[in-house]
Amino acid sequence: GESVGLHLPTLSVQEGDNSIINCAYSNSASDYFIWYKQESGKGPQFIIDIRSNMDKRQGQRVTVLLNKTVKHLSLQIAATQPGDSAVYFCAENANTGFQKLVFGTGTRLLVSP
């Protein structure tokens, strides 16, 4: 069947490498950000989030960095595995007090064994 992310930017890495996926967000008033992973045929899956009062947050094998000055968000995946292959989306909450996520364009990560 048709895959999500056929026309999206692609990052190709070797298994075991570290991956960095970047996202530029649009609204300087956004105060909450999420990274999602979407595998083919599935809905987006939460990876990690960060609030605007932080510039870094770490999870298991993942780190999110937030640079509010240039409205930039990145997702770092350590020791990338073939199972990490998917499309990754950043999302920003553009309205304080109301959960309304605006999604970025997405990046396709391909991990070669």
Partner 1 sequence: SAVISQKPSRDICQRGTSLTIQCQVDSQVTMMFWYRQQPGQSLTLIATANQGSEATYESGFVIDKFPISRPNLTFSTLTVSNMSPEDSSIYLCSVSVGAANTEAFFGQGTRLTVV
Q: Which of 16, 18, 24, 46 binds partner 1 (CB under 8 A)?
A: 46
Q: What angle do CA 87, 51, 92 make, to 5 degrees?
A: 45
Q: Give the nearer residue to partner 1 in terms of CB position, either 14 or 58.
A: 58
- CA dist., res. 113 & res. 103, Å (int): 30
Q: Which of 7, 60, 69, 70 binds partner 1 (CB under 8 A)?
A: 7
Letters for 70-109 (x = contact with partner 1 by CB under 8 A, - = none) are: -------------------x-x-x-xxxxxxxxxxxx---
Q: Write out the H or E segment, with its range, that includes residue 62.
A: strand 62-67
- CA dist., res. 70 & res. 12, Å (int): 25
- CA dist., res. 109 & res. 84, Å (int): 7
Residues that bind partner 1 (CB under 8 A): 1-2, 4-8, 31-32, 34, 36, 41-46, 49, 51, 89, 91, 93, 95-106
